[in-house]
């Protein structure tokens, strides 16, 4: 039986990526660009699972999830929160709203498929699914950040760049940044570069523009 994914994200890139990810899977994707539209859509449909961005216009992902949990007809629907690479994920808020899991963007297509299948009712748990989903509270299951999801290998790189016994906290030098950047580039596959460019570059651009507008307002 074909299942339905309700995807709520204001990034056209992410929506396109999710649609491509499930193009060969037995899923129908219904997409909206904000939380208010997602809630309105929920009034007319009963999706098998909801993917909701934690920062989007109107209701955010946490609020969409809370709405689902308060609705008796929707209460059991799995909700995966989509977290931007530069977004601050609030685990406590995720537990309070009853989120099933979360995944950080940009994500590997295979990881998203595996996560979706692992939380759908009646679906057999796929190999390694237990590594991606960890029980953290009765009201929610929050996905940790395992090393295998560190696409750039930054954790290992940062550890390598520090001498044994050297403090991990605090600012790093320009020389360290250059070395780390070189090593990151060497580790990147074309697939990872494409995924990162699609989502992170627009985010960086938006942040730069906002900071510049803020600076102009203060001057």
Into how many domains does the chain fold?
2
User: Are both 158 and 212 inside the same structural domain?
Assistant: yes
- Peptide bond before residue 106 is cis, with ω within 30 degrees of 0: yes
pLDDT in tens, 157-197: 455 545 555 544 555 666 666 666 666 555 554 545 555 55
- Which residues in 34-177 belong to E strands, given as ranges? 49-53, 79-83, 101-104, 134-137, 140-142
Domain region containing 183:
149-218
Q: Are 49 and 80 in contact (CB under 8 A)?
A: yes
Looking at the fold, whether 82 and 171 belong to one and the same domain comes out as no
Q: Could you tell me if 82 and 170 lie in one domain?
A: no
Q: Are residues 125 and 156 in the same domain?
A: no
CATH of the domain at 52: 3.40.50.2300
Per-residue model confidence as pLDDT tens digits over 21-38:
999 999 999 999 999 999
Whole-number pLDDT of residue 133: 40
36 in the same domain as 88: yes
DSSP assignment of 55-117 equals S-SSS-HHHHHHHHHH-TTTTT--EEEEE-TTS---HHHHHHHT--EEEESS--HHHHHHHHH
- The residue out of 116, 146, 176 marking a domain boundary is 146
Chosen domain end from 110, 129, 146 = 146
Residue 35, token pair as written in the block: 């939380």
134 and 28 in a single domain? The answer is: yes
On whether both 121 and 20 belong to a single domain, the answer is yes
Residues 84 and 57 in one domain: yes
Q: Of 117, 146, 175, which residue is a domain's last?
A: 146
Confidence of residue 49 (pLDDT cuts 50, 70, 90): very high
Q: Is there a single domain that holds both residue 96 and residue 195?
A: no
Q: Does residue 144 have a pLDDT over 60?
A: no
- Look up residue 219 and give its DSSP letter: -
Q: What is the distance, to the nearest Å, from the Cα of residue 91 to the centroid of all Cα atoms in its chain?
A: 13
57-109 pLDDT, tens digit each: 999 999 999 999 999 999 999 999 999 988 899 999 999 999 999 999 988 99
- What does the alpha-carbon distance between residue 60 and residue 68 come to, in Å, rounded to a whole number? 13
Q: What is the mean pLDDT of the chain?
A: 76
pTM of the predicted model as reported, rounded to 2 decimal places: 0.59
Q: Do 95 and 62 lie in a common domain?
A: yes
Residues 32 and 126 reside in one and the same domain? yes
Q: What is the pLDDT of residues 147-159, one digit of tens each?
A: 444 444 555 545 5
Place of tokens 């998203």: 112
Strand-pair category, 27-32 with 49-53: unpaired
Among 100, 97, 104, 52, which residue's Cα sits nearest to residue 77? 100
Are residues 38 and 135 located together in one domain of the fold? yes
Q: Are 103 and 82 in contact (CB under 8 A)?
A: yes
Query: pLDDT tens, 114-136?
Result: 999 999 987 544 433 333 343 33
């Amino acid at each position: 039986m074909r299942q339905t994914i309700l995807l709520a994200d204001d990034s056209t890139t992410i929506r396109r990526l999710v649609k491509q990810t499930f193009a060969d899977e037995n899923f129908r994707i219904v997409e909206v660009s904000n939380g208010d539209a997602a809630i309105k859509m929920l009034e007319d449909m009963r999706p098998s699972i909801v993917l909701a961005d934690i920062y989007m216009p109107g209701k955010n992902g946490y609020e969409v999830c809370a709405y689902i949990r308060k609705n008796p007809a929707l209460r059991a629907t799995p909700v995966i929160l989509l977290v931007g690479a530069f977004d601050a994920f609030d685990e406590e808020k995720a537990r309070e709203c009853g989120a099933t899991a979360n995944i950080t963007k940009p994500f590997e297509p295979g990881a998203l498929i595996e996560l979706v299948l692992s939380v759908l009712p009646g679906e057999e748990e796929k190999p390694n699914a237990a590594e991606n989903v960890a029980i953290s509270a009765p009201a929610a299951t929050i996905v940790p950040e395992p090393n295998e999801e560190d696409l750039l290998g930054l954790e290992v790189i940062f550890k390598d760049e520090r001498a044994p016994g050297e403090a991990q906290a605090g600012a790093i030098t320009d020389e360290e940044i250059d070395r780390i950047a070189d090593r990151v580039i060497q580790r990147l596959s074309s697939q990872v570069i494409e995924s990162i460019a699609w989502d992170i570059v627009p985010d960086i651009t938006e942040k730069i523009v906002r900071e510049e507008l803020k600076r102009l307002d203060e001057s």
